[in-house]
Amino acid sequence: MGDAFLIAALVYIVACLGLVLFLQKQGNRLRNKVEALTVLVKEGDRQREGLKRELQELRSGTIGVGRRVLALEHKLAEQAQKLDESVQQEPQAKLYSRAIKMVHLGAGVDELIQECELPKAEAELLIRLHSKR
C-alpha cells in the first residue's frame, strides 16, 4: 500500500505541475492579449484626440466663413439699394425699366415707340433681349 500511495502522490504531483504550467501559459497569453488591447486603446485615444482637434478647426473655419458670408450679404444688399436709388434718379433709366416691363407683359414694337418714345431700333432690341420665349 505504501508503494501505491507513493505512485498516486507522484502522479498527483505531476498532474498538479502540468496544471500549473498550463495555467501559467494561459496567463501569459491573457497578459499578452491585455497588452495588445491596451496598445489598441491608446492608439484609439490618440486618433480620437486628432479627430477632435480637426473637428474644432473645421468648426472655427465654418464660423469664419459664416461671418464672411453675412458681411458679403450685407454689402450686396447695400449695393442693390444703391442701384435701385440710382435707377430711380435717372429719368432715362425709368423709361427703359418701364419699356422692359412692357416687353415682359407682351408689348410690341409699336406700343414701345408710342408709350416710351423709343426709336424703332431700340424698341426692337429691347424686345429681342427681354421677351419671354
Domain boundaries, the chain: 27-82, 90-133
pTM: 0.43
Q: What is the pLDDT of residues 56-97, one digit of tens each?
A: 999 999 998 999 999 999 999 999 888 877 766 666 667 778
Cell numbers given for 5: 500511495
Rounded to whole angstroms, the Cα distance separating 133 from 131 reads 6
Are 105 and 119 within 8 A, CB to CB?
no
Cell numbers given for 43: 492608439
Rounded to whole angstroms, the Cα distance separating 21 from 31 reads 15
**Residue type for 42, please?**
K
CA 48 to chain centre: 19
Cell numbers given for 90: 435717372
DSSP label at 5? H
pLDDT at 40: 95
Q: What is the pLDDT of residues 71-81, one digit of tens each?
A: 999 999 999 88
Which residue do the cell numbers 461671418 mark? 67
Rounded to whole angstroms, the Cα distance separating 46 from 91 reads 69
Q: What is the pLDDT of residues 11-56, one digit of tens each?
A: 999 999 999 999 999 999 999 999 999 999 999 999 999 999 999 9
Cell numbers given for 83: 442701384
Are 11 and 3 within 8 A, CB to CB?
no
